[in-house]
Amino acid sequence: MALKNPHLYHLHISSNSGKNYQKILDKITQFQASNPKKKIYMMAFGNTSQPISESVIDAIKEYTDILSNKEKYKGYEDVVGNLQLRELICSRYYQPMGVTLEPSEIFIIDGAQSATGNISELFSKKSIIAVQNPMYPYFIESNLMMDKTRIVTLNCYEKNGFLPEKPQQKVDLMYLCFPNNPTGVTAKTNELKSFVNYALNHQSAIIFDGVYGKFVRTRDVPKSIYQIEGSKKCSIEINSFSKTANFTGVRLGWCVIPHELTVGDSSPSELNQMWKTRYKVKFWGASNLAQAAGIAVLSQRGQEESEATIQYYLNNASLLRKTLEYLGLKCFGGIDNPYIWVKGRQGLSSWEFFDYLLENTGIVGIPGCFFGTCGEGYLRLSALGHREDVEECVEGLNNST
C-alpha cells in the first residue's frame, strides 16, 4: 500500500525552493574553496541580524520569573491568544492607521509562515487559488501539500512595476503580499482597491501577507489591506513580529479574520469561528513567553525600539540600493521594505547574474527564478544584515569602479 502522502513526497523530491537553496549553498562552498581570502556578503536569506531590544528582553526575563514561580505560574491559556496582546494589536498597530478591529478578530500565531499555508484550510479543496509571480514560494508549496492543486499565477512584470495582473478567470482565493517579498515593491491605495473590488465582485477571498507593512514610509501606500474600504468583507491579513522586532527566532505573529468576512457561501463571523475551531483541534496557542514579549513590543518604548530596528534595516537597504544604482544596475524595492530586486545586466539569467555578483563582489543573493518564472533575470538581496557588512560591501563596490 502506498502509505506516504503523495503530495508531500512529490514536493520533497521536486521542491524548487529546497533545490535552489542547496544550489546557493553549494556555489558558496565552491567559491570559498577557490577564493579562501575573499569575503562573502550573505544577502540571500531574509533572516534578521539585530538583537531583540532592551525593553522586550526585560519583559522576557520578567515572564520567566512567572513561569518559575509556584503561585504565579501559567500553563495553557486562551488558544486564540493573550487578550492583552490582541487588544494592543488593535489599539497600537491598527488604530493609528485608521483601522478599527476587535480583539475577537485577531488570532495569535507562531509567526506568519505556518499561517500563510494553514489559512487555506478554511476553504474548499476545489478552490482556485491565485498567487503572484514572482511570489513567496511557500504560498504555493503549502497548498500543494494539502492537495490543493488548482493554482493560477498573476504575472508581475517590470513594465507594470511588478504589480500583479488581474486574474483571467474567476478565482476563489488570491494571495497578495505588499510590500512584496521578493520584489520589494508596494501597491498604492488605488491599486489595492482594484483587487478588493475584484474580490467583492467575484466573491473571492484575499489572503493579504502584510508582514512588511510597518516598513512603509511612502505616502499613499497602505500598510494594511484594511485601509481599503470594503476590504473586511473579503480579506484575511497575516502579520508577524519577525522583521519588525527581530523575532525570527522567537516566533510570533497574528492573523485577522474579520467578522464581516463573507465570501462565497459563508455568513458573517462564520469563517472567524471556523478558524477558532481549527485552533482548538490543531493549534493550542502560541508560546506564552513569546506573547509576553509581543506585549512588550507594543508598549510605548517597545514601539520606539521597533521603529529604530526598522529604520536600521531601511538604511541598510538605502545604502545598498544607491550604490548598486550608481554602478548602473536597475533596482526595485528597498524603500518601503528590506528587499532589493536587482535586474541582471545585459540579459543575464538569474543564475548567471548570481555567479557574476558572487565572483566580482562577494555578494550572495537569491536568483529571481526561485520565486517564479517572472523573476527570471533578477536577483533578490536582503538588507536585514549588519550595517558594518553593508558598509564594507558598499565600499568594495565603490572601489571597484
Would you tell me which residues interact with ligand PLP (CB under 6 A)? Answer: 46, 111-113, 116, 136, 177, 181, 209, 211, 240, 242, 248, 253
Q: In the complex, what is the shortest distance from the CB of residue 286 to ligand PLP, in angstroms, rounded to a whole number? A: 11
Question: What CA–CA distance (Å, rounded) separates 105 from 255?
Answer: 8
Q: In the complex, what is the shortest distance from the CB of residue 151 to ligand PLP, in angstroms, rounded to a whole number? A: 17
Q: Which is nearer to ligand PLP, 111 or 372 (CB)?
A: 111
Half-sphere exposure at residue 150, Cβ-oriented, CA atoms within 13 angstroms: 14
Q: Which is nearer to ligand PLP, 191 or 394 (CB)?
A: 191
Q: Which is nearer to ligand PLP, 253 or 367 (CB)?
A: 253
- How far from 57 is each of 11, 77, 190, 292, 310, CA to CA, in Å? 38, 22, 40, 10, 18
Q: In the complex, what is the shortest distance from the CB of residue 72 to ligand PLP, in angstroms, rounded to a whole number? A: 29
Q: Which is nearer to ligand PLP, 209 or 237 (CB)?
A: 209
Q: In the complex, what is the shortest distance from the CB of residue 257 to ligand PLP, in angstroms, rounded to a whole number? A: 17
Contact 47, 384 (CB under 8 A): yes
Q: In the complex, what is the shortest distance from the CB of residue 145 to ligand PLP, in angstroms, rounded to a whole number? A: 16
Grid cell listed for 218: 511612502
Q: Which is nearer to ligand PLP, 118 or 181 (CB)?
A: 181
Nearest of 366, 362, 322, 372 to residue 344 by alpha carbon: 366
CB-count exposure of residue 115 (10 Å: 0-12, 13-18, 19+): buried
The amino acid occupying position 246 is: N
170 SS3 class:
coil
Per DSSP, helices labelled H in 327-373 are 350-361
Q: Which is nearer to ligand PLP, 176 or 363 (CB)?
A: 176
C-alpha 341: how far from chain center: 15
Q: In the complex, what is the shortest distance from the CB of residue 164 to ligand PLP, in angstroms, rounded to a whole number? A: 14
